[in-house]
Amino acid sequence: MKKIVLTFVVLLSFVGLFLLLQNRGAENDGEVIIIVHDGEKVVLEETFSYYQGDTLFDLVNEHLDLVCANSSYKPSEECNDLLLGSPVILGINDVITDWTSSYFAIYINDTYSNLGVDMIELEDGDVVRFEVQEVGGE
């Protein structure tokens, strides 16, 4: 009898977890606008929903095509942690930087961010701009 009750409790727990994860897709905790600027013009401006605990990296990695730097700062489709535990994004969709002469500056609500892309927490209504900057440029 104890085995049956324990099995039922475990099964009920799995069903509850499954339903909780399914509901994650139905509601979000906020929306942010992501802008990608190639240094001359805006090439992407789109609104994305996010969930509590998501970082900027989580959001762009889920919705955009990223190219990150590997341990030699060469382009890689895999975005593993690299610089102080943070991935280095070299490309977003068709906009590519090379890290030597250009990089993506990140602006949150028009303020330059000094944080790594996976350390930036999202707030509802944020406007995030990835803008190509020339090294040594303004």
pLDDT greater than 80 at residue 10: no
Report how far apart the first and last C-alpha atoms of the chain are (Å, whole number). Answer: 73
Phi, psi of 91 (to 5 degrees): -145, 140
Percent of the chain beyond pLDDT 90?
57
> Whole-angstrom Cα distance, residue 114 to residue 90?
16
> Whole-angstrom Cα distance, residue 52 to residue 40?
33
> Whole-angstrom Cα distance, residue 91 to residue 69?
9
Sort 105 into a burial class: Cβ within 10 Å, 0-12 / 13-18 / 19+: middle
pLDDT greater than 70 at residue 103: yes
> Tokens 């600027």 — which residue?
37
pLDDT greater than 80 at residue 107: yes
pLDDT greater than 50 at residue 95: yes
Summary mean pLDDT of the chain: 84
pLDDT greater than 80 at residue 101: yes
* CATH no., domain 30-134: 2.170.130.30
Q: Which amino acid is at 127?
A: V
pTM of the model: 0.76
pLDDT greater than 80 at residue 76: yes
